[in-house]
Amino acid sequence: MIQASGILQKTDIDVEPKYEQGLEDLLDRCRQNLPTVDEAMIRKAFTLSYWAHRNDWRESGERYISHPLEVARIVAEDIGLDDVSVAAALLHDVVEDTELSLDLIRSGFGETMENIIDGLTKISGVFESRELGQAENVRKLMLSMATDLRVILVKFADRLHNMRTIEALPKKKQLKKASETLDLFAPLAHRFGLFPVKSQLEDLSLKVLDPDAYQYIVDRLESLAEERDAYIAAFTEPLRERLRQDGYTFDIQSRVKNVYSIHRKMKRQEKPLDEIYDIFAIRVILDTDDDLDPEAREKKGKEDCWRVYSVVTDLYKPLPERFRDFISVPKSNGYQSLHTTVLGPDGRRVEVQIRTDRMHEVAEKGVAAHWKYKEGKKNVDEEMEKLLDWVRDLLDNPKPDEATEFVKEFRLNLYDEEIYVFTPQGDLMTLPRQATPVDFAFKVHTEVGMQCIGAKVNGKMVPLSHELTSGDQVEIITSKKQSPNPDWVNFVVTHKARSRIRQWTNEERRRAADLGRKIWEKKAERNNIEISDHDLQEIAHELKFPDLQQMFYEIGKELYDADELVEHVKGPNADEEEVGDREAGESLKKKFETFLETAQTSGKQALVINGEVQKDLAVNYASCCNPIPGDEVFGFVSKTGAINIHRTNCRNATDLLNNHPDRILDVDWSRQKDIQFVAALRLMGEDRVGMVNDITTVISKNLKTNIRSITIDSEDGIFSGTIVLHVSDLDHLHRLMERLKRIDGIHGVYRFEE
């Protein structure tokens, strides 16, 4: 009996003729599509795979070897990678499904092949579940991609063949696999620039998930095929003639939009298929002169594309609003082409795409084409490096407790709709649709994002949550005193921005907890208290804190008084014990209601608590958010019964509302005059002579408002400052803000909390 280790030296094992012919067909495709072909390596990989899978059969009833053969054919033809990838495709299941080991792969094919097969084995089943535990598998996928992109490219081929033969599976498995494919594999293939693979995955998924819709579109396209072909011929003939006259070597192709894209467009626009005008597009593909050096060839190719664009628009009237220049501004996956929509015969809209043959190969095969053109590992193509940067960025500091968030971010970054925005210096930035100035700031540099205090879009100040659009010029205003606002995470859309904001928020939380511990330790020392963390943890639970860290955090943020903890640790006196027994089982809110009934007059406040006006109640207005009449607020009952008033958008609100719902009170404002509240404004603008005088004049003289403090800093001709003042209510504050905005040179006025 032949052992696995001995099969590597065998070349004469019995192979069924159909599979032997399949190997020869594969080698033919390799010769046609790959720059170099190591036939001996591919034959050896086939022999080993055939032998390893000799007792394995597919659901369809075929020998299992039919699957790796087809996967290798897709790698060679549809993706066009390299001979190592073809051999890896033949071997992609042997370590996972048979007795073969990675050591055997290394001894027979080398370390590179071992790494690829190891990566393919590790990521097997990555998309098989949406459960939390699978997040680590997604991370493994990303790590393997960062090591060798061929891992995921072979995996695309594997999934594509599985989708082509999905009918052999039970219906439940079909639905699950089709959903996985549409959810993750197709957009990931798009991110890698593999447009034909992405389109096939989408169509095959739709065929399973909505067979009626799929078949309707297929039948309708077939019924229109003859008419469509005649129209395309009439449209392209004058164009062919002009291009021949001008001496171009070219190919003109027509592309019909894939079924899934038509289906999605029909749903989005709520239109029938007959009203979707861009069912097909015309592609003009120009031959490039391979005798030129790469730089000259690229330059000439771009110039030729623009000249052909001129020819197209001479023949047919263009629609300027439908023009897209992806040559000067390539997509993030490297796609380059000129797109224009023109009015053809009978006034029909026709999209024309113009590109060189090199651009076309990248458009069809994406990163695989870049792989083909790179010249050694030390000179990786720029677009490949961008893709690797994207993978590395997703992997940046993922934490085990953020597993679900990591998978969410992974999906988020598979966006297929992009916008193109510019820095003030004219540098291009590519961002996902719905990106904001904060996303842009983090894209420029992490420190720019961390210190962002405002933004100008096309010369005008906008909120940081403003949605950017293609063509915007974005200028970020920064301050060294600024730090990220945790609320930014609610509107940013890029992984980098979200992860950096969360990192900073978590670090701030840790710092607050450390400060809280230090405050407690000083209090404990003064009161001669010695207690272990274990016992303190028990007390934290008694006080309804989820853990010790949360208790220290609330002490550090002044949400919980360390003196209360001291009293609790020292133990109640006899009277307090009697009260405690009498009130056992009462909720904290019930205690507060008792407190309200017995509260003594200590100052008039304009509050309505639980629907009743409280004229004689002493309350605290939280310094973390400085609420004023007109703000949406809530009351938080401390463990001693004192009431702290917070704004609902206070940075501490989430913690209080989520972790202590039983200590929250409904609070509103009643009308009462002659009460002043502290508020703060953040201003930014041009640093000019007299600016501070103009600001103080508006506040003090024009609006008769008392200034408590003012701090102004200036850098590079831009100032930023904080003004603390006394206002009567929210309307008063808004009048101030609107008046300040009208001062010449002021770019932004925002409410600010310290």
- C-alpha dihedral (664, 670, 675, 676), degrees to nearest 10: 60
- The SS3 call for residue 473 is strand
Is the separation of the CB atoms in 254 and 198 below 8 Å? no
**Would you state the structure tokens that stand for residue 300, as one six-digit string?**
């000439």
468-481 CB burial, b ≥16 within 10 A, e <16: beeebebbbbbbee
Contact assessment for residue 239 and residue 284, using Cβ atoms and an 8 Å cutoff:
yes
At 95, list the tokens.
């370590």
Other CB atoms within 10 Å distance of the CB of residue 381: 18
Which of 28, 96, 396, 563 is the catalytic position?
96
Reported as type and span, the H/E element at residue 621 is: strand 620-621
Return the bridge partners of 282, or none.
Answer: 254, 352
On whether the CB atoms of residues 617 and 610 are closer than 8 A, the answer is: no
Contact 389, 436 (CB under 8 A): no
Tell me how far apart the alpha carbons of residues 483 and 450 are, in angstroms, rounded to a whole number. 6
Q: Which of 322, 325, 354 lies closest to 341, judged by CA?
A: 322
* 581 alpha-carbon distance from chain centroid: 54
Residue among 261, 169, 300, 273 nearest 216 (CA): 273
Cβ atoms of residues 664 and 601 within 8 Å:
no
Task: Round the CA-based radius of gyration of the chain to a whole number and report it.
Answer: 34
Can you tell me the distance from the alpha carbon of 123 to that of 116, in angstroms, rounded to the nearest whole number? 11
Query: Tell me, what amino acid is at 179?
Result: S
Using the Cα atoms of residue 312, residue 318, residue 322 and residue 325 in order, give the sign of their dihedral. positive
Q: How far is CA 224 from CA 93, 219, 220, 273, in A?
A: 43, 9, 6, 11
| Helix extents (H) in 486-547 | 495-526, 533-542
Q: Which of 38, 62, 97, 564 is catalytic?
A: 97
With beta carbons less than 8 A apart as the criterion, state whether 106 and 100 touch: no
Residue 416 · residue 190 · CB < 8 Å:
yes
Encoded tokens for 647: 């704004």
Sequence letter at residue 635: G
314 — phi, psi (to 5°)?
-70, -40
Residues 404, 135: contact at Cβ < 8 Å? yes
Distance CA 570, CA 576 (A): 12
List all residues 6 or more positions away from 567 whose beta carbon is below 8 Å from its beta carbon: none
Distance, C-alpha 417 to centroid of its chain: 12
- Give the three-state DSSP class for 489: helix
CB 641 within 8 A of CB 633: no
738 is catalytic: no
- Asked if residues 100 and 94 have their Cβ atoms less than 8 Å apart, the reply is yes
Contact yes or no for 503/397 (Cβ under 8 A): yes
Asked whether 634 and 663 are in contact (CB, 8 A), the reply is no
3-state helix, strand, coil in the chain (%, to 5): 55, 15, 30
- Of 222, 232, 153, nearest in space to 192 by CA: 153
DSSP state letter for 57: B
> Is 78 a catalytic site residue?
no
List active site positions: 96-97
